[in-house]
């Protein structure tokens, strides 16, 4: 079976600054890939390219064997590093929006029973991210962490096939953070999600992911810092006794997957 | 180094309350009125029949007939009939301009191919002074109400369209992408993400366009009309009746300022999210 | 003088405003041809001839004191500066409109067809007066038509619109408008000769303090008129230059001159100024103006404003004379005294 | 659900290249020209002497004398002399307006007490149609160049001031606070933080004000001038000489569009940080 | 000795939402206070009040015994949670700005030798935060973490007496993060800084601070979530064998202070 998402010799350049060079990557359906690397390495840039927001300056990206158009759709959900919630919608409206788009192609608004059902679904998700009480606030009235959680709820309520997360939990306190870890793991198990997550927390990278990628520069010229871009320097598949996947086993999954990172195999790879 | 002991709050940091703000705002206007009275009195000392800077008494006399008495010919209270006619034209012109600014502006701002095709045209129309093309406008729209409304629309709509388009094009790309990942079609994106966020800007654009709109209204009424505030002003200009012109201009300023305040207030009411949170 | 004004001090710099009209084109031509300078130098003064594109504005600016003199029609001299309390002297009676103003109808058989129509014209101007006289001649009343104020700059274009079926205008617009298919001129100033006069007026106090200004101005005017009347190359060149200054072709300009009765000789102008007809005309004009409210809100009767005529005749309030027809300078020119 | 197979890029996501953009922008303008020619030809078929929509040949003939031949009276090439005179007035008016928009706009936007005191006055002035005040303007500023420049300034400066003030007041409070913690005085804050960030907006405001500025310039020249593009248009309008008016208007549009493009380009060059990064 | 910074019965309210209530706090000069607490508890709000950006709705704040004007000056440096760098200045200009304000009151720009000295100082600071190569970039051309580091460099170059940090290290990878910890600790030791830092990383809170505050709601009414605000629920002074302070001992301090959080005493306090 050809892999789900594949990047072939992908480069990302801004003007004459080379950010990513020669990235080759095959990601299987259902993988949970954590990406770590120094600040400024190009992690967010990589996510943008996979999302289809930016086109790579060279190379090819294929999804399910088809070349990826540089555009976004509801197959790929995203939580950006910077706040990407809609400032003119309340928390509840922000969360409802995805549901409304799917069900009301023309008005993008729901009424009556359909709305009540969507509101219930959105509220469940808001409770899950700890914003249950804040449905009527506008983003400007919320703290940084709350906005980030809203962005997450917004993406999750659409149950995308691929979920791209850019430091989603950076601004959260440890309590809510482990709740969110549980939530994302459950969803991953329940919906055969493919997750690509950028994080600065190595513990998080290893405990959540089943594959950890490290982005960094392979070469560095101190006199021309922009000459060389980063690439994948470590690609660590984590082999664990995974429980069988499926929505039915959700409660079981919750306890089995939590906080395990035993039996890891590490291979140093050369990406060139 | 800064002296920490001073208790004077910097001007940047001062917050002005509502009542204080009104009072402070009234001061320079009052000063201007006083200045006018001074100059008017001075001119009248030299020539008691001076018409250029009439004294308040003369203005009251001149206006009384227009405001309180029926015009024997038409049976109308001229001042109020003028006001009504002008406001109707202005309202219609503003409404059409606003609607087209929204429609065209959003599409231009959001869809690069459309912007490439029509952006230059809109710029071109925006910079052509419509009063230079009056003869062609007469052919296209005749000389009636349509022509007056059309002059307002041609005068302000391109400017508003460009403003809304520029603002729309500045929306963070992240928001567009986010909406697309939530399954929004271009239409839904327009309707739920771009349009609502353009609304406060639209209100701002209407406020900025109010001045030019009045200019074009008055120009239109100066060209061909038999009623309206601009008509009256240009008619009585024939005999330098500043005692009518000045109250009329003041009245226009009051109407325009009220519209402005109303728009600012509605924008704050309707789009609270877009204005500084009330701390 | 009515207001206890101090007499203006003698000065050497003067400015005269003018606007484009067939009967006033000699002024800018005289300026360009050096005639103005020649006469000004003779009296040791300086005269600026300033063009104002908008006729009403030029008269307003004179009233406001920006000019010492201005070219103006008799009716407007009465209703703008004189009614504003500015004591004004009509120094030169240049011409009367002899067809330069006209009432035009589209698809009409005659003047009677104007009834019930909407008439586009510059309200409260000589056009309005002409319309009143036209209606009078057709036994119609002002209430039989509806007037729509239309700017003089735009009336030619407006007339091409199907919306407009009746209009009153003056030249050069009138000539342009007559070319519109289906147009009939049903009345013109040629039907009321001598009633629409084109003047050069100056501030009375300034003139009193500076009689040299009056002499220079009549000197300029009659020398230029004489030049443009010449039936030779020089005269044709002068007329062509005036056409150019007016933004039109020599043919069109000649056509306009044909409907302008210029008082070429100073003597003719003096005769016009001293004729009883002038008093009659001004009475008519004044009554019309008063009826239209042109004397302002404070005016209780047509008599509030006083006019003086040569030979001590007056009209209206003799204690508030603000418009004076003065033949003395034209007479000097006629007698070669300048 | 969306079909993933289609290869059509959504319009929102299309990027248009430079050359393509120019080509696409030219299309509607060409269409308009064709439309004009069609109507003109039709009118001439009915009335060969039609003056309202002249054919290109007539325009070329009319313009040739103005552009290429010295005016025998004044010795000037009228077209170029008109252009120069108008551009001088416009440039001066724009320069004064821009400078005052910067000065007053920044102060109004940044200092709440000043805004409270003068905001209402600026709004009032912004909404008074200067056209209605023409007689007073000419009395106050005379009939020379000053009055024309003043009309432009009075017409557009309040609008620009309000725009800059609103933009300044929207600066994130965090930036002001941050600058203060770095020891910036109000003056330094203004000079280094607020002013540079207002500059791109100022360019935008000048672009938006170009249209009204031309309108006011032409209005002023229509009333009192003996040279200038607006003067010529109003001079020949008496004769309905559209064969001169249309080329003049087109010329004004070209001049204005060039200014607009120049401003947009300089803003991108000078304030790269404020425009979308070139990806 | 009366305390350096004292908050007496401080309340922060937004409309009818009570965010902080009855906060009483005495902070000594030279303290390093870490603030932790759940997302949305009011940590950023507390910093804003201490900074003078917002005025408390009730209560009093005193600095050195003088009531604090609600305005900001160069005595208090700040790194906001959201990016507060100047978008129109390059990295170097952003860092220079504070120095230019102090030395050139009128032009706020330096020239010649003074500029060279300031540039050298700014570059040192940029190297310290790992942005040495990026002096000519504009903020929009940088990653989230790089912008945060720039904000830090900007504040530190002014050597403020009080430094307020709102999750300054949230977006940094572990390598650069420990560099930054070292930097801030060194500066704290060298310049007798008073630091108040909000963080979500409990380890960071305890290893850097000598006092840890926990903000949380004391009471919670599920039907009126806005009725009660948060206050200080734990106030933990950390007693360690601190090395004597002073610039001279900087290199020593670097090794002694790193990563120590032994002998901690915890007192549950009641703030009401
Ligand atoms: N618009 C842009 N123009 C120029 N350079 C850019 C632009 N956006 C990003 N870069 C550069 O690309 C590099 C990678 O940025 P990116 O945001 O992908 O880093 P990152 O790995 O996500 O870092 P962080 O962990 O700090 O978020 C950085 O060096 C940045 O300076
Ligand atoms: N402008 C505002 N209007 C109304 N409520 C606000 C406003 N700003 C903040 N709040 C509310 O104040 C509370 C505290 O916000 P604050 O930003 O101080 O939290 P925080 O502790 O910093 O959270 P985080 O760790 O997520 O940054 C939040 O519940 C938020 O909703
Ligand atoms: Mg990033
Ligand atoms: Mg916070």
Q: Is E44 in the same domain as E94?
A: no
pLDDT for residue E216 is more than 50: yes
Q: Is A69 in the same domain as A176?
A: yes
Pick the range with the lowest mean pLDDT from C37-41, D220-224, E130-134: D220-224
Backbone φ/ψ region at C258: left (φ over 0), alpha (ψ -120 to 50), beta: alpha
Could you give the angle at the alpha carbon of E193 between the alpha carbons of E190 and E196, nearest 5°? 135
Q: Is E166 in the same domain as E245?
A: yes
Q: Give the per-residue pLDDT at C168.
A: 95
Q: Give the per-residue pLDDT at E126.
A: 93
Buried b (16+ CB within 10 A) or exposed e, D29-64: eeeeeeeeeeebeebeeeeeebbbbbbeebbeebbe
CB A39 within 8 A of CB E172: yes
CB E230 within 8 A of CB E21: yes
A173 touches chain E (CB under 8 A): yes
To 10 degrees, what angle do helices D195-223 and B112-127 make?
40
Domains of chain D, by residue range, sit at 65-278
* Of residues D115, D230, D253, nearest to B124 (C-beta): D253
pLDDT for residue E247 is more than 50: no
User: Is residue E211 in a domain?
Assistant: yes
Domain end point (choices A114, A140, A159): A159
Tokens of D152: 């432009």
Other CB atoms closer than 10 Å to residue E168's CB: what's the count?
25
Q: Comparing C-alpha atoms, which of B128, A77, A221 is closest to residue D257?
A: B128
Q: Give the per-residue pLDDT at C60.
A: 86
A137 CA: nearest ligand 2 atom: 31
Identify the closest residue of chain E to D188 by CA–CA distance: E108
Q: Is A11 in the same domain as A107?
A: no
* Of residues D208, D242, D248, nearest to B159 (C-beta): D208
DSSP character string of C248-299: S-HHHHHHHHHTEEE--SHHHHHHHHHSHHHHHHHHHHHHHHHHTTTT-TT-
Q: How much is the mean pLDDT over chain B? A: 85
User: Is residue E236 in a domain?
Assistant: yes
pLDDT, tens digit (0-9, with 9 covering 90-100), for E80-94: 877 679 999 999 999
Other CB atoms closer than 10 Å to residue C10's CB: what's the count?
12
| Range 35-74 of D in CB contact (< 8 A) with B | 52-53
Whether A214 is in the pocket of ligand 1, judged by its Cβ within 6 Å, is no
Q: How many domains does chain E have?
A: 2
Q: Which residues on A lie below 8 Å from D278 (Cβ)?
A: 15
Q: Which residues pair with A211 in a beta bridge?
A: A33, A237
Q: How far is CA A193 from the centre of its chain?
A: 10
pLDDT, tens digit (0-9, with 9 covering 90-100), for C242-259: 998 888 888 889 999 999
Whether E145 is in the pocket of ligand 1, judged by its Cβ within 6 Å, is yes
Backbone φ/ψ region at E224: left (φ over 0), alpha (ψ -120 to 50), beta: beta
Q: Is E154 in the same domain as E71?
A: no
> Sign of the C-alpha dihedral, residues D99, D104, D106, D107?
positive
Q: Give the per-residue pLDDT at B193.
A: 93
Chain A: touching chains (3 or more CB pairs < 8 Å): B, D, E
Tokens of A142: 């919320």
Cβ contacts below 8 Å, chain A against chain D, sum to 20
Could you give the angle at the alpha carbon of E82 between the alpha carbons of E78 and E87, nearest 5°? 90
Look up the domain containing E51 and give its range.
1-75+161-256
Could you give the angle at the alpha carbon of C236 between the alpha carbons of C234 and C240, nearest 5°? 115
pLDDT, tens digit (0-9, with 9 covering 90-100), for D11-35: 777 777 777 777 877 888 889 899 9
Q: Give the per-residue pLDDT at E232.
A: 86
Q: Is E61 in the same domain as E172?
A: yes
E strand residue ranges, C192-251: 197-203
Per the document, the length of chain D is 279
Whether E146 is in the pocket of ligand 1, judged by its Cβ within 6 Å, is yes
Q: Give the per-residue pLDDT at D276.
A: 56
Q: D143 and C247 in contact by Cβ < 8 A?
A: no
Cα distance between residue E10 and residue E61, in whole Å:
8
Domain end point (choices E101, E128, E159): E159
Q: Comparing C-alpha atoms, which of A37, A17, A18, A11 is closest to residue A167?
A: A37
Cα distance between residue E261 and residue E181, in whole Å:
14
Mean pLDDT of all residues in C194-222: 93
* Segments in E58-201 forming alpha helices (H): 91-103, 112-128, 144-156, 174-190
Q: How much is the mean pLDDT over chain E? A: 81
Cα distance between residue D161 and residue D157, in whole Å:
6
pLDDT for residue A1 is more than 70: no
How far is ligand 4, taken at its centre, from the CA of residue C238, in Å? Answer: 85
Assign residue E223 the CATH number of its domain: 3.40.50.300
pLDDT for residue B1 is more than 80: no
User: Is residue A272 in a domain?
Assistant: no
- Residue nearest ligand 2's atom 23 by CA: E40
Q: Give the per-residue pLDDT at C152.
A: 83
Q: Which residues pair with A163 in a beta bridge?
A: A77, A195
- What pLDDT band is residue A271 in, cutting at 50, 70 and 90? very low
Q: Comparing C-alpha atoms, which of E116, E117, E148 is closest to residue E131?
A: E148
- What pLDDT band is residue E256 in, cutting at 50, 70 and 90? very low
Ligand 1 mutation target, pool E141, E145, E174, E180, most atoms within 8 A of CB: E141
Identify the closest residue of chain B to C167 by CA–CA distance: B224
- What pLDDT band is residue A70 in, cutting at 50, 70 and 90? low
pLDDT, tens digit (0-9, with 9 covering 90-100), for E38-75: 888 899 999 999 888 888 888 988 888 888 776 777 77
Phi, psi of A165 (to 5 degrees): -120, 125
E173 DSSP 8-state letter: -
Virtual torsion, Cα B88, B91, B97, B100, nearest 10 deg: -100
Cα distance between residue E98 and residue E103, in whole Å:
9
Q: Give the per-residue pLDDT at E68.
A: 76
Q: Is A147 in the same domain as A167?
A: no
Tokens of D27: 């299309």
Q: Comparing C-alpha atoms, which of A156, B173, D175 is closest to residue E78?
A: D175
Mean pLDDT of all residues in A108-123: 92
pLDDT, tens digit (0-9, with 9 covering 90-100), for B19-75: 777 777 788 889 989 999 998 898 888 877 777 788 898 889 888 888 888 877 777
- ipTM of the predicted structure? 0.83
- Between the CA of residue B16 and those of B19, B72, D117, D138, what are the distances in Å? 8, 51, 10, 38
Q: Which residues on B lie below 8 Å from A100 (Cβ)?
A: 192
Buried b (16+ CB within 10 A) or exposed e, D96-114: bbbebbbebbbbbbbbbbb
First to last CA, chain B: 31
Pick the range with the lowest mean pLDDT from B105-109, C28-32, E218-222: E218-222
CB A22 within 8 A of CB A271: yes
pLDDT, tens digit (0-9, with 9 covering 90-100), for A223-259: 777 777 888 888 888 876 454 443 333 333 333 333 3
Q: Are strands C46-51 and A66-67 parallel, antiparallel or unpaired?
A: unpaired
How far is ligand 1, taken at its centre, from the CA of residue C303, in Å? Answer: 87
User: Is residue A206 in a domain?
Assistant: yes
pLDDT for residue A190 is more than 70: yes
CB C59 within 8 A of CB C75: no
Domain end point (choices A141, A159, A177): A159
pLDDT, tens digit (0-9, with 9 covering 90-100), for B211-245: 889 989 988 888 888 899 998 888 887 777 888 88
How far is ligand 1, taken at its centre, from the CA of residue E122, in Å? Answer: 22
Q: A75 and D2 in contact by Cβ < 8 A?
A: yes
Q: Let me know if chains E and C touch, i.e. at least 3 Cβ pairs under 8 angstroms.
A: no
Q: Which residues on B lie below 8 Å from A76 (Cβ)?
A: 181
Q: B277 and E73 in contact by Cβ < 8 A?
A: no
E strand residue ranges, B100-221: none
pLDDT for residue C7 is more than 80: no
Place of tokens 């009384």: B64
pTM given for the model: 0.85
CB D53 within 8 A of CB D242: yes
Q: A81 and E202 in contact by Cβ < 8 A?
A: no
Q: Is E65 in the same domain as E167?
A: yes
User: Is residue A189 in a domain?
Assistant: yes
Q: What does the pLDDT profile of chain D (279 residues) look like in tens digits?
A: 344 444 456 777 777 777 777 787 788 888 989 999 999 999 888 888 777 888 999 899 888 888 888 877 677 888 999 999 999 999 999 999 999 999 999 999 888 888 888 888 888 888 788 877 776 777 778 778 888 999 999 989 988 998 899 889 888 888 888 999 999 988 999 999 999 999 999 998 998 888 889 989 988 888 877 889 998 888 888 777 888 889 999 999 889 889 988 998 999 899 888 875 433
Q: Is E192 in the same domain as E68?
A: yes
Q: Is E55 in the same domain as E167?
A: yes
* Binding pocket residue ranges, ligand 2, CB within 6 Å: A 137, 140-146, 171; B 277; E 14, 17, 19, 37, 39-45, 81
Q: Let me know if chains C and B touch, i.e. at least 3 Cβ pairs under 8 angstroms.
A: yes
Q: Is A185 in the same domain as A71?
A: yes
- What pLDDT band is residue C298 in, cutting at 50, 70 and 90? low
3-state secondary structure of E221: coil
Q: Give the per-residue pLDDT at E260.
A: 38
Cα distance between residue E88 and residue E66, in whole Å:
36
Q: Is E10 in the same domain as E36?
A: yes
For residue E8, the surrounding DSSP H or E stretch is strand E5-14
Sheet holding E58-63, edge to edge: E66-67, E58-63, E5-14, E17-27, E230-237, E211-217, E32-36, E194-198, E162-166, E76-79
pLDDT for residue C94 is more than 50: yes
How far is ligand 4, taken at its centre, from the CA of residue A82, in Å? Answer: 14
E14 CA: nearest ligand 2 atom: 4
* Of residues D4, D7, D277, nearest to A14 (C-beta): D277
3-state secondary structure of A104: coil
Q: How far is CA C302 from the centre of its chain?
A: 21
Mean pLDDT of all residues in A202-221: 87
Q: Give the per-residue pLDDT at E150.
A: 93
pLDDT above 90 covers what percent of chain A? Answer: 28
Q: How much is the mean pLDDT over chain A? A: 81
- Measure in Å the smallest separation between the Cα of E43 and chain B Cα atoms: 17
Task: Examine residue C205 and say whether the peptide bond preceding it is cis (omega within 30 degrees of 0).
Answer: no
Place of tokens 């209606």: C135
CATH number of B65-278: 1.10.3720.10
Per the document, the length of chain B is 279
């Amino acid at each position: 079976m050809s892999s789900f998402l594949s990047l072939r010799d992908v480069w990302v350049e801004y003007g004459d600054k080379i950010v990513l060079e020669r990235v080759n990557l095959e990601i299987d359906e259902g993988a949970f890939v954590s990406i770590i690397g120094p600040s400024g390495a190009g992690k967010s840039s990589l996510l943008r390219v996979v999302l289809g927001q930016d086109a790579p300056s060279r190379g090819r990206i294929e999804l399910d064997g088809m070349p990826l158009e540089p555009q976004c759709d509801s197959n790929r959900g995203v939580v950006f590093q910077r706040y990407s919630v809609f400032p003119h919608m309340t928390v509840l409206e922000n969360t409802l929006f995805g549901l409304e788009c799917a069900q009301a192609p023309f008005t993008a608004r729901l009424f009556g029973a359909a709305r009540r059902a969507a509101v219930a679904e959105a509220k469940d998700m808001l409770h899950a991210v700890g914003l249950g009480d804040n449905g009527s606030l506008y983003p400007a009235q919320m703290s940084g962490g709350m906005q980030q959680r809203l962005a997450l709820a917004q993406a999750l309520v659409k149950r995308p096939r691929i979920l791209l997360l850019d430091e989603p939990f950076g601004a959260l306190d440890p309590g809510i953070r482990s709740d969110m870890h549980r939530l994302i793991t459950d969803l991953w198990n329940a919906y055969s999600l493919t997750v690509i997550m950028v994080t600065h927390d190595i513990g998080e990278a290893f405990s959540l992911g089943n594959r950890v990628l490290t982005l960094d520069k392979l070469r560095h010229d101190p006199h021309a810092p922009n000459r060389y871009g980063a690439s994948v320097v470590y690609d660590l598949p984590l082999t664990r006794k995974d429980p069988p996947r499926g929505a039915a086993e959700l409660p079981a999954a919750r306890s089995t997957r939590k906080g395990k990172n035993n039996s890891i195999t590490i291979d140093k790879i050369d990406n060139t | 180094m800064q002296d920490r002991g001073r208790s004077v709050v910097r001007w940047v940091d001062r917050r002005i309350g509502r009542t204080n703000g009104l009072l402070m705002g009234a001061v320079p206007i009052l000063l201007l009125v006083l200045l006018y009275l001074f100059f008017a009195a001075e001119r009248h000392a030299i020539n008691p029949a001076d018409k250029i800077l009439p004294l308040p008494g003369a203005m009251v006399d001149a206006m009384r007939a227009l405001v309180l008495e029926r015009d024997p010919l038409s049976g109308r209270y001229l001042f109020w009939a003028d006001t009504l006619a002008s406001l109707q034209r202005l309202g219609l012109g503003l409404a059409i301009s606003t609607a087209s600014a929204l429609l065209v502006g959003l599409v231009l701002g959001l869809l690069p191919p459309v912007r490439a095709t029509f952006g230059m045209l809109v710029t071109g129309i925006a910079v052509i002074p419509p009063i230079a093309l009056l003869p062609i406008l007469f052919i296209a729209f005749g000389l009636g109400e349509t022509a007056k409304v059309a002059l307002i629309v041609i005068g302000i709509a391109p400017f508003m369209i460009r403003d809304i388009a520029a603002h729309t094009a500045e929306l963070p790309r992240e928001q567009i992408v986010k909406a697309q990942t939530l399954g929004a079609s271009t239409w839904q994106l327009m309707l739920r993400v771009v349009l609502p966020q353009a609304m406060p800007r639209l209100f701002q654009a209407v406020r900025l366009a109010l001045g030019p709109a009045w200019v074009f209204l008055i120009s239109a009424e100066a060209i061909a009309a038999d009623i309206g505030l601009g008509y009256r002003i240009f008619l009585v200009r024939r005999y330098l009746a500043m005692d009518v012109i000045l109250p009329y201009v003041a009245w226009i300023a009051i109407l325009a300022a009220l519209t402005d305040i109303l728009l600012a207030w509605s924008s704050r009411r309707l789009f609270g999210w877009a204005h500084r949170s009330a701390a | 003088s009515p207001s206890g004004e101090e007499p203006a001090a003698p000065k050497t710099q003067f400015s005269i405003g003018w606007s484009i009209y067939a009967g006033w084109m000699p002024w800018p031509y005289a300026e360009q041809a050096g005639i103005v300078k020649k006469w000004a130098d003779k009296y040791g003064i300086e005269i600026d001839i300033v063009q104002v594109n908008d006729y009403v504005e030029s008269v307003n600016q004179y009233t406001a004191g920006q000019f010492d003199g201005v070219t103006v029609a008799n009716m407007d001299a009465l209703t703008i500066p004189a009614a504003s309390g500015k004591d004004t002297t009509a120094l030169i009676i240049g011409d009367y409109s002899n067809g330069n103003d006209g009432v035009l109808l589209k698809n009409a058989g005659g003047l009677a067809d104007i009834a019930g129509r909407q008439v586009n014209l510059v309200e409260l101007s000589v056009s309005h007066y002409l319309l009143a006289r036209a209606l009078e001649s057709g036994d119609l009343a002002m209430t039989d038509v509806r007037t729509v104020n239309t700017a003089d700059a735009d009336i030619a274009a407006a007339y091409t619109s199907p919306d407009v079926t009746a209009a009153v205008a003056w030249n050069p617009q009138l000539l342009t408008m007559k070319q519109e298919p289906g147009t009939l001129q049903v009345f013109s100033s040629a039907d009321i000769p001598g009633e629409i006069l084109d003047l050069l007026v100056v501030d009375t106090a300034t003139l009193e303090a500076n009689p040299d200004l009056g002499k220079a101005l009549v000197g300029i005017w009659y020398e230029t008129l004489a030049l443009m009347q010449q039936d030779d190359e020089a005269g044709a060149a002068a007329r062509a230059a005036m056409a150019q200054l007016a933004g039109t072709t020599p043919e069109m300009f000649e056509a306009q001159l044909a409907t302008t009765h210029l008082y070429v000789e100073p003597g003719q102008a003096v005769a016009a100024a001293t004729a009883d007809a002038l008093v009659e005309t001004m009475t008519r004009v004044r009554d019309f103006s008063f009826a239209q409210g042109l004397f302002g809100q404070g005016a209780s009767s047509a008599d509030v404003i006083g006019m003086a005529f040569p030979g001590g005749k007056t009209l209206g309030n003799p204690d508030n004379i603000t418009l004076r027809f003065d033949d003395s300078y034209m007479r000097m020119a006629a007698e070669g005294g300048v």
